[in-house]
Structure 1
């Protein structure tokens, strides 16, 4: 009960303390629902259950912001290529979709990253039958990956640094990347390690695939809002922090 009261009091303070224009909050309140951009299909982060309800880590933060602003949530499934333009254009109010915070994104696109909710890293997945145990054995491999993300640059940098060559097989949608890899169109599937584990769970024979031990990048993942709307940014940040605090109290108190 004390945690609930604390959440309510702090959120009330955030909603009233900022002097910035509250355009996003006003739009959300007037509309009666929050438009949240998230994954199309990434189990554990954002995916539909058997009843058609969207669940997952990223979805939970959307739902928490909806609760903080007393509105419902409508989810917009987006590809990596679509997600940032959707936020910039106002198609969505909040992006909660395993998005890596980078300097160029944070300074050049008119966007603000709020709170890092997961520190991840890019990995590489292969079939066990190939007998590959480390990334240095991947010279000449074909690699399935998704366009519109840091994944493309990371894998190119890694292979160049280690004097190896690869052939990219690129898709717009993550489910297409998984299906292409699972049907043998490429030797390697690469994305964040958490994403590899999620996509492996959807494959025909998950036990036949291994994630190699190397991390080829650092990926601080955070929900994103538009730059300049300080009150909305504060609402999202404090909702995330308080959600984490409430979860910590639930487990350790």
Structure 2
């Protein structure tokens, strides 16, 4: 019984989030392009190349969303954001989505009322040492 209630609650929460996001999707479709917030330049994630073409993992995420929603991976406008401007740009509607390094926290879910769709990159630090050294921790 608990499992059903929990899954039911998740379903209702998902439907509510879908309804809230419907306005943004309608705006994107009417405009014919996705305004996607990315970092101001982090090679490998989002940075313009020598020809001014944006490349990187986050750029690919934006293009995938544009392809899924508009049928065209090129129908995306990349909007550079900083750590300080990214949430303001998202909340104001300047950008439709944010695809950049952003930690998912409880307060951002609750206080800012943003919908995080999932983790696309885990980062961390690790150390390598030869096994013969017998090192068991940093």
TM-score (norm 2): 0.72
Out of 87, 92, 109, which is 2:90 matched to? Answer: 87
Instruction: Indicate the residue corresponding to 1:65 in structure 2.
Output: 65
Change (3 A) 1:40 1:104: same
Name the CA distance, whole Å, in 2 between partners of 1:51 and 1:108: 40
2:39 and 2:81 map into 1 onto residues whose CA distance is 6
**Larger relative contact order, structure 1 or 2 (CA cutoff 8 Å, min sep 6):** 1
Contact 1:88-1:110 at 8 Å conserved across structures: no
Point out 4+ residue stretches in structure 1 off by more than 2 angstroms: 18-21
How is 1:57-136 mapped onto 2 (pairs within 5 angstroms)? 57-70=57-70, 71=72, 72-121=75-124
User: Map of 1:189-228 to 2, 5 A cutoff?
Assistant: none
Provide the aligned C-alpha RMSD in A.
Answer: 2.2
- Written as runs of structure 1 = structure 2, the 5 A alignment for 1:166-185 is none
For 2:111 and 2:19, the matched residues in 1 are separated by 21
How far does residue 122 in structure 1 lie from its aligned partner after superposition? 7.0
Aligned mates of 2:99, 2:125 — CA distance in 1: 18
Unaligned runs of 5+ in 1: 1-17, 124-213, 215-253
Separation of aligned partners in 2, 1:122 and 1:109: 29
Whole-angstrom CA distance in 2 between matches of 1:95 and 1:84: 8
CA deviation after TM superposition for structure 1 residue 121, in Å:
2.9
Counterpart-to-counterpart distance in 2, 1:32 and 1:114: 22
- How far did 1:19 drift? 7.3
Q: Which has the higher strand share?
A: 1
- Supply the distance in 1 between the matched residues of 2:39 and 2:54 (Cα, whole angstroms): 10
Cross-structure match for 1:48: 48
1-side partners of 2:124 and 2:103: how far apart?
Answer: 10
The alignment's TM-score, normalised by the length of structure 1, stands at: 0.40
Q: Residue by residue, what CA displacement relative to the aligned partner does 1:122-172 show, whole Å, maximum 9, x if unpaired? A: 79xxxxxxxxxxxxxxxxxxxxxxxxxxxxxxxxxxxxxxxxxxxxxxxxx
Q: What SS does structure 2 have at the residue aligned with 1:69?
A: helix
SS of the aligned residue for 2:78 comes to: strand
Return 5+ residue gaps in structure 2 as ranges: 1-16, 127-137
